[in-house]
């Protein structure tokens, strides 16, 4: 990706947001790793191919909490929990 169209503050912001996202993913990783290859209880959301588990919900809560704490001027759109927060930065 070329950075020629970005100013230094844009690059610094992107780097900071990337770091926040990676930290959030690392916090949720143990939950998801614990679910790997387990026979877990699951629900169908809209059909038999659209599943949700407690691990999905828990990892999304961890990620959402970290993102909003680290960058309060944010809103987070999650697959399980919908949209939370209000701000100029949107995490999807």
pLDDT in tens, 22-48: 999 999 999 888 877 666 665 556 665
Question: Degrees (nearest 5) of the Cα angle 60, 46, 41?
Answer: 55
Of the candidate ranges 3-7, 21-25, 28-32, 68-72, the one whose mean pLDDT is the lowest: 3-7
Show the tokens assigned to 21: 């996202």
Global pTM value: 0.76
Mean confidence (pLDDT) of the chain: 84
Q: At what angle do helices 8-35 and 54-70 cross, to 10 degrees?
A: 150
- Tokens 């629900």 belong to which residue? 43
Outline where the chain has alpha helix (H): 8-35, 54-70
pLDDT at 51: 62
């Amino acid at each position: 990706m070329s950075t020629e169209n970005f100013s230094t503050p844009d690059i610094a912001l992107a780097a900071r947001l990337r770091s926040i996202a990676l930290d959030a993913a690392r916090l949720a990783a143990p939950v998801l790793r614990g679910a790997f290859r387990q026979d877990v209880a699951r629900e169908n959301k809209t059909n038999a191919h659209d599943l949700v588990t407690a691990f999905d919900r828990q990892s999304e809560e961890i990620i959402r909490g970290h993102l909003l704490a680290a960058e309060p001027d944010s809103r987070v759109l999650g697959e399980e929990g919908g949209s939370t927060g209000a701000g100029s930065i949107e995490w999807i």
